[in-house]
Structure 1
Amino acid sequence: MIHLVNHIWIGATSGTVFGLAGSLFFAFTAPVLILAFLAVLYLIISEGDEIQEKKTLKRPTFRLWTFPVLVNGPFGVVTAAELIGIALVSVFVIWACAAYTIRDWGEISKDQVTSFIKSCLMLERSGARLGLIGLFCLSLLFLPISRGSILLRLIDIPFEHATRYHVWLGHLTMALFTLHGLAYVIAWAMEGRLIEQIFEWKDIGVANLAGVISLASGILMWVTSLPGVRTRNFELFFYTHQLYVVFVVFLAMHAGDFIFFMCSGGIFLFMLDRFLRSIQSRKTVDIISATSLPCGTVELVLSKPACLRYNALSFIFLQVRELSWLQWHPFSVSSSPLEGRYHLSVLIKVLGEWTEKLKGKISNNEERQKLLETRLKSLITASVEGPYGHESPYHLTYKHLILVAGGIGISPFLAILSDVMHRLKEGKPCMPKNILIVWAIKKSDELPLLSMINMDSIDPIFYDALNLDIQIYVTRESEPKVEEGKAFGAMNTCTYPISKRSAISVLVGTGDNIWTGIYIVASSIGFLTFLALLDVLYINPYNITIWWYKGLLVVVCMLAGVVIFGGVAVAFWHQWERRMLASESNNYDTKKSNRALHDVAVEHKNSNQEYLVNSSTLRYGCRPDFKDIFGSASDHWGAVDVGVLVCGPETLTSTVATEIRSHSLRRKHNHPVFHFNSHSFDL
């Protein structure tokens, strides 16, 4: 049926000036672009909507996307919605392979040839079909890896979650492409023309050598992305993954223009995101202060404009050029967007070589603080991509929250707690009224992390509006080493003077919706314009029929549309940003702001200690008993919806997911429904 529909569509459209390539463009690429346009319109229209408190339902409800089904296995924790998606893709791949195999074998078996020739033909047919199915998967592969993707924002899936889907699709796509190449290699070897075919580069038909180069680069990316290699040598994974450029370009030359259009929509949206990221990351950002904690954690406070749009639970990619010009590392934002108009904070755990160098740089800078004050120049600078995260602050849609953290996993929950407190103070919509924080740490020297919350500007009367319970488990100490009241101890802070007010750029895909929409529409129009001009002025008049050349020209048109048309939109966006920053600077006193931000970095660390200590319970020498924790919450809160957010090691995440699944399966009518959500640093 699908085959018949394709033939009808191609027959109806291939007679146009764009030919067969135009037919496949409008069948596969155009729907992706149209969906992106509609997503832009939807986000612009709904941009002004505030978080509204939902009507109280009589009973709590289960949700497919927050109900964990699989908690252990190759996919990690998988929700019901994710399991349905995995099942649908698996069924499609199995059905397509079976349908193509049955049809091809039926056609080949009718030929009056030897069994050997039939086997070779079947291998080549199977290879072609596997490549075709791989292209369908490839059409989805680049969508989840676009950090500011308009489509991810439309369905409110943050990049950190979507990377899992990219990994799953990557394994499936490369498995299909590898089998695609292997089937041809076996057939050619059986026919005795392996070397000849591998190095063949046809003008009419697929260019085999281009396919070999594309597949080789893809396999190299695939092998170095496997968990064993990635965890042991992240830099090898990161650098080899830049081969995606080789993979895409040679794939286009291997397949030709019309076949490449089957997957070009997702690749084009990735190009949009990548170009915008490269523009944003060129700007250096002031590091306002750097705080070194006794537990081996560093807090960086970065300068940002007041108009920068982000939510709590967002994260940024950070590069410190004094340490490396190539390495980018993701970190959760630990401050609320309401906490400060001109600064943003991240917590960095010292775990590897890069973070060790960062801590060493800060320690050296502390000794040279007086020199900094005279030179008015920071000795370390940063480049930033982001912030990225959920389109809407979903943590504000639950009246009851359980935040489960392991070690540095407390970082995003500090932003949540600060966000809730500031919303209560400012009278903004905010549903959470009961928050339980369960924090497991190895040693008590990690306790000062909790004092990084800036609540010094909040009137204590607002503390009564929030029922906060913090349960801290120190797993590797049997008794306290310090007095509990002083557990949130002192730290060393190095504050840098701001010389030129260099803040995080607002040129980010999750930023201003109107400018993002203009950028996407302008780039898409540019892509279509270059394609049309190419066909009308060059391909048709000069009868260009070389497949690999036309495939390369499509990639050039995509790049030209993004860089030229999209670049003009970004240039106007940048001018708007400069005017906004100039307007802010009129009310921005550098000396006063330096002093105020120094206070933020130092004084607030002690201002909220009493409230935090009174809300905290410390337990030594034990781990959280989640069965008891969730059972107690069930008895205390009753039949309500409870949002559970987990940030920490995979073992902690799977343990919490297991308990939520178990509770859901044996839930009583007067018990809550726990909604599982995870926040991961594994990007």
Structure 2
Amino acid sequence: MDEHSAQEQLLLVLPSVNLEKKCFFLSSLKWILTIVTWLIFITWVVLAFLFPLNLTYEFILSATSFSSGTFLGLEGPVFLLFSGPILLIAFFSIPYLIISGKDQKVQEKKAPSYRLCTFPLLVDGPLGVVSAAEFIGILLFAVYVVWCIYIYAIQNLSSVKDESPFTTTTQKICYILDIWGFSLAQIGIILLAFLFIPIARGSILLRLIDIPFGHAARYHVWLGHLTMLFFTLHGLCYVIEWSLQGDLLKKMLEWQESDTANLAGVIGLTAGLLMWITSLPFVRTKYFEVFFYTHQLYIIFVIFLALHVGVIFFSIVAGTIFLYMLDRFLRFCQSRKTVDIVSATCFPGGIVELVLSKPQSLHCDALSFIFLRVREASLLQWHPFSVSSVSGTGEHQFSILIKTFGEWTQNIEENISNFSAVIELYQDGINLQSPFRMITASVEGPYGHELPHHLMYEKLVLVAGGIGISPFLAVLSDIFHRKRQGKPCLVKNILVVWAVKTSNHLSLLSLINRNFSNIEVNLDILIYVTQQSQPPLDEEEGRLVEFKATNSFVSPVYKGKTMSVLVGTGNNNIWFGIYLISTTLGFIAVVYLLNVFYINPKDLSLGWYHGLLFVICMVVSVLIFGGLVVGIWHLSERKMNGEDHQIIEHNEIEHPTADKDCLSQDLYTSTTIRYGSRPDLQEIFESISERWGHVDVGVIVCGPPALESSVAKECRSLNLMRTKHYRPIFHFHSHSFSL
């Protein structure tokens, strides 16, 4: 009997022991991958700092001369030194994210502490709100630029002294301009290697460090200004030099066979200047389409950069450009697929809710956003929108809110109104497919954080301005859904501060999942209606506006056309890893074959032609090897989602807005509405600081830059003046997105 009991106890203990061993193994593997990745990244940064030195330049020249005529080609050593590390980091990111996905869970409660990435250090400068971690990154780039200028200044001064006496002052000035133009170009090349990392929307590198594209886009803006400044100064140096020599036009049109192609540089710089000028705030905000379409000149910029600098210098930036090409190709394939609009609803105040179809396998976080194209509004325009619901609309659907600001959004609202009227004429089931086929949507994404940081805090403050409430509706619904399902969620207290112009926007709160009365979450909603001094006659102060849809419809023809899972944060990392590795190896194989069977036998040494062939190899490898993997991936996706398709078709589609004419009593009791005033953020945050005690408080803001800066200022002020240890630590997060 005792022996039998001992065996039973042993059998019960073994699964937990195996689980602990598995967790320990995964945790150890993550640490190893982290250390290796950091070592590679530090090596890459050190190489960038060593790049201006004569010793590095001489090493590159000797290495390229040694590899010339071999399978490595002229570009081999430079590509391995400067592009190889970033590709290796991308490779190691795949197993890291796969392990993190299996081990993804809400962190346990820890002692409150400051974090560099959530501490707002600068709040009122031209760069907007800058965290302490971002400030360190800015300082590193500033130090690098100063370091490069200092090294080149010393080298150039020494070079001028070593030269034989110039016969004229003009010759000396031209010589100085020539060597400084070359030096400025080298700095620009290194900066360009970083420029393409933050602009890749589904970048594996951004996912590795958990920075969503909406936040990383401004890094691209900062780097873009800095890079174009150096390239412009580079071009200006040569323009002045050629003007002093009296052959400006001749030099600008020169296309040398075995040296730098000047005309290619002029074309590339012109494309870069057009992108730079149209990206400035006064152009981008007023003429967004001009900015958007002009920015497509990056293709011209990259191609003519390769023609201008040749294969050796282009190999420095080839790694990050190649990763961007991989991301762009995936996004192109994803956006070709048409997505069903399950339902559409027009809210008061010019707000439209679209419910879109998605496969069950697609992960969509509460703070995710997508890029949407509606062909009836525009064939080319893509616009970003925050996801407003991920749990409340079911496993096969998610919703977004669109505020009618301009022509594009007004076209969508008009189409919905027209289609709603037409559908009413077909209530008898005759030819129902005709009207709905007129609405077609394409989706890119979703993009967002790799980990749901809104679930990591016991106390949560959500500050919204206007339509900025949209992502917080998803956050609230997600938290309530997780609480009901018993899923990990640390949140216990939520304060929502919402500033709107008029009260007709308040009906959006009806989108929150209504059944949360038995959930252990304390919810307080403070609403400030800024442009109304008192409530309308049919309302009572402090009460919510009940929702009355102006126009709405449920799709009469719902075929289960869901969005693709090719791109999206937290989705199939295994397939993406196969795509990345196979395409990279394919690219290396194509370059190898090109060197062995074409370049070396013909002894080609043309700088611009060799650079063009290198770019063609990149494009061919993405289209052939990447296209093959994407095709297999797509077939696997269709097979996996075939069961989802059957589930959707054989069950009645629930109208997401069918039960919004009445609001939850819990929302009435949790909400306070104040008319004719703006939120006093200082008073609100000081009250929180007094009441909530020594905890980490997550503060998420979605709204205009002025609101974001004001909230960041309060968080910084309370954190810096925190003398009492029982006060909370405020962690600032921004969900605002602007291109």
- 1:487 and 2:545 correspond: yes
Could you tell me how far apart the structure 1 residues matched to 2:250 and 2:131 are?
49
- Residue 698 of structure 2 corresponds to which residue in structure 1? 643
Shift of the 183–338 alpha-carbon distance from structure 1 to 2, 3 Å rule, reads: same
Identity of matched residues, %: 53
- Residue 158 of structure 2 corresponds to which residue in structure 1? 106
Q: Deviations over 1:590-617 (max 9, x none)?
A: 5x333x2x2x2221x2465322111100
Could you tell me how far apart the structure 2 residues matched to 1:593 and 1:11 are?
71
- Residue 508 of structure 1 corresponds to which residue in structure 2? 567
Shift in Å, 1:338: 6.7
- Residue 601 of structure 1 corresponds to which residue in structure 2? 657
- 1:382 and 2:441 correspond: yes
- 1:574 and 2:626 correspond: no
- Residue 15 of structure 1 corresponds to which residue in structure 2? 66
- Residue 392 of structure 1 corresponds to which residue in structure 2? 451
Could you tell me how far apart the structure 2 residues matched to 1:105 and 1:336 are?
62
Could you tell me how far apart the structure 1 residues matched to 2:508 and 2:90 are?
41
Shift in Å, 1:223: 0.3
- Residue 304 of structure 2 corresponds to which residue in structure 1? 250
Could you tell me how far apart the structure 2 residues matched to 1:370 and 1:606 are?
20
- Residue 203 of structure 1 corresponds to which residue in structure 2? 257
The alignment partner of 1:333 has SS state of strand
Could you tell me how far apart the structure 1 residues matched to 2:352 and 2:493 are?
30
Q: Deviations over 1:610-632 (max 9, x none)?
A: 22111100011111111111111
Could you tell me how far apart the structure 1 residues matched to 2:292 and 2:349 are?
28
- Residue 200 of structure 2 corresponds to which residue in structure 1? 146
- Residue 517 of structure 2 corresponds to which residue in structure 1? 460
**Paired residues, what number?**
672
Could you tell me how far apart the structure 2 residues matched to 1:488 and 1:416 are?
21
Shift in Å, 1:376: 3.4
Runs of 5+ consecutive residues of structure 2 not aligned to the other structure = 1-49
Q: Match for 1:355: what amino acid?
A: T
Match of 2:615 among 555, 567, 584: 555
- 1:74 and 2:126 correspond: yes
Shift in Å, 1:485: 3.8
- Residue 678 of structure 1 corresponds to which residue in structure 2? 734
Taking structure 2 as the reference length, what is the TM-score of the superposition? 0.89
Q: Match for 2:545: what amino acid?
A: A
Shift in Å, 1:34: 0.7
Could you tell me how far apart the structure 1 residues matched to 2:343 and 2:608 are?
53
Q: Deviations over 1:198-229 (max 9, x none)?
A: 00001111100000000000000000010000
Instruction: Please show how residues 395-414 of structure 1 align to structure 2 within 5 Å.
Output: 395-414=454-473
- Residue 630 of structure 1 corresponds to which residue in structure 2? 685
Greater Cα shift, 494-503 or 535-544: 494-503
The alignment partner of 1:493 has SS state of strand
- Residue 43 of structure 2 corresponds to which residue in structure 1? none
Shift in Å, 1:19: 3.8
Q: Deviations over 1:154-193 (max 9, x none)?
A: 0000000000000000000001100000000001111111
Could you tell me how far apart the structure 2 residues matched to 1:70 and 1:318 are?
33
Could you tell me how far apart the structure 2 residues matched to 1:442 and 1:426 are?
36
The alignment partner of 1:562 has SS state of helix
- Residue 260 of structure 1 corresponds to which residue in structure 2? 314
Shift in Å, 1:336: 2.3
Instruction: Please show how residues 359-370 of structure 1 align to structure 2 within 5 Å.
Output: 359-370=413-424
Could you tell me how far apart the structure 1 residues matched to 2:170 and 2:57 are?
32
Instruction: Please show how residues 50-65 of structure 1 align to structure 2 within 5 Å.
Output: 50-57=104-111, 60-65=112-117
Could you tell me how far apart the structure 1 residues matched to 2:516 and 2:686 are?
33
Contact 2:106 2:455 in 1 (8 A): no
- Residue 89 of structure 1 corresponds to which residue in structure 2? 141
Instruction: Please show how residues 104-503 of structure 1 align to structure 2 within 5 Å.
Output: 104-111=156-163, 112-114=165-167, 115-337=169-391, 339-371=393-425, 374-377=430-433, 378=436, 379-453=438-512, 455-456=513-514, 458=515, 460-462=517-519, 465-481=520-536, 482-483=539-540, 484-491=542-549, 492-503=551-562
The alignment partner of 2:526 has SS state of strand
Taking structure 1 as the reference length, what is the TM-score of the superposition? 0.96
Shift in Å, 1:374: 3.2
Contact 1:10 1:20 in 2 (8 A): no
Shift in Å, 1:499: 3.7
Could you tell me how far apart the structure 2 residues matched to 1:7 and 1:304 are?
55
- Residue 716 of structure 2 corresponds to which residue in structure 1? 661
Runs of 5+ consecutive residues of structure 1 not aligned to the other structure = none
Contact 1:509 1:516 in 2 (8 A): no
Could you tell me how far apart the structure 1 residues matched to 2:555 and 2:109 are?
48
Greater Cα shift, 503-512 or 25-34: 503-512
Greater Cα shift, 480-489 or 72-81: 480-489
The alignment partner of 1:20 has SS state of coil
Q: Deviations over 1:530-555 (max 9, x none)?
A: 11111111110111111111111111
Could you tell me how far apart the structure 2 residues matched to 1:573 and 1:338 are?
29
Shift of the 222–154 alpha-carbon distance from structure 1 to 2, 3 Å rule, reads: same
Contact 2:506 2:544 in 1 (8 A): no
The alignment partner of 2:282 has SS state of helix
Contact 1:527 1:558 in 2 (8 A): yes
Shift in Å, 1:489: 2.4
Greater Cα shift, 623-632 or 114-123: 114-123
Could you tell me how far apart the structure 2 residues matched to 1:486 and 1:366 are?
27
Contact 2:185 2:231 in 1 (8 A): yes
Contact 2:528 2:674 in 1 (8 A): yes
Could you tell me how far apart the structure 1 residues matched to 2:178 and 2:226 are?
20
Contact 2:325 2:622 in 1 (8 A): yes
Match of 1:621 among 635, 651, 676: 676
Q: Deviations over 1:485-541 (max 9, x none)?
A: 451322232211234211111111532111111111111111111111111111101
- 1:534 and 2:585 correspond: no
The alignment partner of 1:408 has SS state of helix
Shift of the 69–459 alpha-carbon distance from structure 1 to 2, 3 Å rule, reads: closer
Could you tell me how far apart the structure 2 residues matched to 1:392 and 1:201 are?
51
Q: Match for 1:102: what amino acid?
A: I
The alignment partner of 1:602 has SS state of coil
Could you tell me how far apart the structure 2 residues matched to 1:31 and 1:191 are?
42
The alignment partner of 1:479 has SS state of coil
The alignment partner of 1:375 has SS state of coil
Q: Match for 1:245: what amino acid?
A: I
Shift of the 317–124 alpha-carbon distance from structure 1 to 2, 3 Å rule, reads: same
Contact 1:376 1:499 in 2 (8 A): no
Greater Cα shift, 218-227 or 673-682: 673-682
Contact 2:331 2:567 in 1 (8 A): yes
Shift in Å, 1:460: 3.2
Could you tell me how far apart the structure 2 residues matched to 1:532 and 1:593 are?
56
Match of 2:578 among 504, 518, 525: 518
Could you tell me how far apart the structure 1 residues matched to 2:361 and 2:661 are?
29
Could you tell me how far apart the structure 1 residues matched to 2:567 and 2:431 are?
32
Shift in Å, 1:44: 1.1
Greater Cα shift, 42-51 or 194-203: 42-51
Could you tell me how far apart the structure 1 residues matched to 2:234 and 2:105 are?
49
